[in-house]
């Protein structure tokens, strides 16, 4: 009887355990598969992902384009994603009675719109395949024995001997420590997917306002500019939403080194140049010559925000469009095309934070998700130095790595 222990009861850990047990069953192999979860709950990130709806993957089935969504790990994921990609994830869940549907932005959720559907799917599959799930089993140390087996020391409990080990501990520090003890290098860790702290009168008192086609440019001292586009949200503390979260992922380490201080340029309407913004405002002016500027404005903007733009341009709210000068039009256009904000710090995004950094990818055989340093040691998910932008890409990394490991472990 072969013993396989998976450390971590999250997305990667469960997916690996289920598929490992299933493969053993198909091949008539006698295998014990055990998940050791350090805490009292499993699948915590699955439960809270997508506001409790679980953003399982992304509706992008072209592998090379999919890999471009990973600030770190895109090259290494190319081959694994050819083996198990987003389409395979959709099919895997469908074969177990869980339909995934895409939203307009490509994010895919279960039709039930609740993460409990995914959790039930995993728990039922694990139970049916006799996967042993043990809570409050924190692995303090792993010892590689001369026999090739591993000895796992569990805090306050007995030690466990096993033939193969998989570390799927997400961004937990103890997972990095276990990998390090077995000879692995941990790359520089930094938060990824965070929003920006900004204090500015233009956005104060406007939390909840969103801009669907924003373009943002992040300027960090001595670094090349980072650019992103997509929906953006004003919050109580600054700016967030997909455009900001994506740019934070690409600039994760650079922002860490800059102590989260930078300059952010915001193009609120996503227009291609300032002259286009001028022409757009001229059309609005011509359509409402007799109206006050506070009452006729770009339809993409909320009135409360427009009033702040007028205030910033020092244009009286009661002024008629007919009396707005070309210079004032230019001023309005420049604000809409490129407002500059000082980024004063970061805010982690709810509990759905992602970590940049982890086990050095040069030390992993991506055909098997196995360590090149320590035979029969496998990895999947965020414990590796792989992280994606927001939109289901981090879960797909977990499914892909776990699937490949399960076929080889």
Q: For residue 4, what are the β-bridge partners?
A: 33, 164
Radius of gyration of the chain, Cα coordinates, nearest whole angstrom: 25
- CB 253: neighbour CB atoms within 10 A? 19
Contact at 8 Å (CB) between 78 and 63? yes
| Biggest distance spanned by C-alpha atoms of the chain | 88
What number of residues does the chain have? Answer: 409
Per-residue pLDDT of 390-407, as tens digits, reads 999 999 999 999 999 999
pLDDT value of residue 92: 98
Average pLDDT over every residue of 200-223 = 97
Are 266 and 365 in a shared domain? no
From CA 84, how far away is CA 386, in angstroms rounded? Answer: 16
Mean pLDDT of 94-112: 97
Both 172 and 63 in one domain: the answer is: yes
- Degrees, nearest 5: CA angle 38-42-45: 110
200 part of a folded domain: no
pLDDT value of position 354: 83
pLDDT value at 122 more than 90: yes
d(CA 133, CA 119): 14
Q: Is residue 264 part of a domain?
A: yes
Task: Judge whether 398 lies within some domain.
Answer: yes
Alpha carbon distance 227, 200 (integer Å): 21
Domain finish residue from 348, 372, 387: 348
Q: Is residue 197 part of a domain?
A: no
Give the per-residue pLDDT at 355. Answer: 87
| Same-domain pairing of 299 and 180 | no
Q: For residue 400, give both structure tokens.
A: 């892909």
Q: Is the pLDDT of residue 282 over 80?
A: yes
Where among 301, 327, 348 does a domain terminate?
A: 348
> Would residue 368 count as lying in a domain?
yes
- Cβ atoms of residues 212 and 300 within 8 Å: yes
Question: Residue 196: inside a domain, yes or no?
Answer: no
Which residues, other chains included, contact 309 with Cβ-Cβ below 8 Å and sequence gap of 6+? Answer: 202, 301, 332, 335, 336
* 101/47 same-domain check: yes
Indicate if 262 and 376 belong to the same structural domain.
Answer: no
Q: Is 266 exposed, middle or buried (0-12, 13-18, 19+ CB in 10 A)?
A: buried
**Residue pair 317/307 in contact by the 8 Å Cβ criterion:** yes
Tell me what pLDDT residue 353 has.
67
Whether residues 151 and 280 fall in one domain: no
Helix or strand holding residue 279 (H, E): helix 274-287
Q: Mean pLDDT over residues 144-168, rounded?
A: 97
Q: Is the pLDDT of residue 113 over 80?
A: yes
Taking residues 60-84, report their average pLDDT. 98
Residues 37 and 156 in one domain: yes
C-alpha–C-alpha distance, residues 211 and 203, integer Å: 12
User: Tell me: the pLDDT tens digits for 327-354?
Assistant: 999 999 999 999 999 999 999 755 456 8
Reading the block at residue 247, the tokens are 């740019």
Going by their DSSP bridges, the two strands 262-267 and 210-219 should be labelled as antiparallel
Q: Is the pLDDT of residue 11 over 90?
A: yes
61 and 175 inside one domain? yes
The count of structural domains within the chain is: 2
Domain boundary among 348, 380, 398: 348
Report the C-alpha gap between 4 and 409 in whole angstroms: 8
81/97 same-domain check: yes
What residues make up the domain containing 251?
Answer: 205-348
**Residue 52: which residues within 8 A CB-CB, separation 6 or more?**
114, 115
The CB density around residue 233, as the number of other CB atoms within 10 Å, is: 19
Per-residue pLDDT averaged across 308-331, rounded? 97
CATH number at residue 162: 3.50.50.60
Indicate whether 312 and 396 sit together in one domain.
no
pLDDT on residue 147: 96
DSSP character for 109? E
| Domain annotation covers residue 31 | yes
94 and 221 in a common domain: no
Q: What is the mean pLDDT of residues 271-286?
A: 97
Task: Name the nearest CA neighbour of 50 among 245, 301, 187, 289.
Answer: 245
**Same domain as 209, residue 252:** yes
Q: Which residue, among 23, 53, 95, has the nearest Cα to 395 in the 3D structure?
A: 53
pLDDT tens for each residue of 47-62: 999 999 999 999 999 9
CB 149 within 8 A of CB 162: yes
In a domain, 170, yes or no: yes
Mean per-residue pLDDT, 273-284: 98
Average pLDDT over residues 369-386: 98
- Alpha-carbon gap, residue 313 to 321, rounded angstroms: 14
């Amino acid at each position: 009887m072969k013993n396989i222990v998976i450390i971590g009861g999250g997305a990667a850990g469960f997916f690996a355990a289920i598929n490992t047990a299933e493969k053993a069953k198909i091949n008539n192999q006698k295998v014990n598969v055990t998940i050791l979860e350090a805490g009292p709950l499993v699948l915590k990130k699955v439960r809270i992902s997508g506001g409790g709806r679980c953003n399982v993957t992304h509706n992008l089935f072209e592998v090379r384009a999919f890999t471009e969504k990973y600030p770190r790990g895109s090259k290494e994921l190319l081959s694994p994603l050819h083996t198990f990609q987003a389409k395979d994830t959709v099919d895997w869940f469908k074969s177990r009675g869980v339909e995934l549907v895409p939203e307009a932005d490509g994010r895919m959720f279960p039709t039930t719109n609740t993460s409990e559907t995914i959790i039930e799917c995993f728990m039922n599959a694990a139970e049916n395949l006799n996967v042993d799930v043990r809570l409050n089993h924190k692995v303090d140390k792993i010892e590689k024995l001369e026999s090739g087996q591993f000895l796992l020391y569990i805090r306050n409990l007995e030690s466990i001997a096993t033939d193969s080990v998989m570390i799927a501990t997400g961004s937990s520090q103890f997972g990095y420590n276990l990998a390090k003890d077995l000879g692995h290098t941990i790359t520089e860790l930094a938060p990824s997917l965070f929003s920006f702290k900004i204090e500015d009168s233009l956005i104060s008192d406007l939390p909840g306002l969103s801009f669907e086609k924003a373009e943002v440019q992040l300027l960090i001292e001595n670094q090349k500019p980072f650019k992103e586009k997509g929906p953006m949200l004003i919050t109580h503390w600054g700016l967030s939403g997909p455009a900001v979260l994506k740019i934070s992922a690409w600039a994760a380490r650079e922002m860490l080194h800059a102590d989260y201080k930078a300059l952010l340029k915001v193009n609120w309407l996503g227009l291609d140049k300032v002259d286009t913004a001028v022409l757009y405002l001229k059309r609005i002016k011509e359509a409402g010559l007799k109206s006050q500027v506070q009452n006729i404005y770009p339809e993409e903007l909320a009135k409360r925000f427009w009033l702040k733009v007028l205030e910033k341009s020092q244009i009286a709210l009661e002024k008629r469009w007919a009396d707005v000068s070309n210079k004032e039009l230019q001023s309005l256009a420049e604000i809409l095309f490129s407002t500059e904000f000082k980024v004063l710090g970061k805010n982690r995004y709810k509990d759905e934070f992602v970590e940049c950094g982890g086990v050095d990818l040069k030390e992993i055989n991506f055909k098997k998700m196995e360590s090149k340093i320590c035979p029969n040691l496998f990895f999947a998910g965020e414990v590796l130095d792989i992280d994606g932008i927001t939109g289901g890409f981090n879960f797909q990394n977990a499914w892909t790595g776990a699937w490949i490991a399960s076929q080889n472990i």
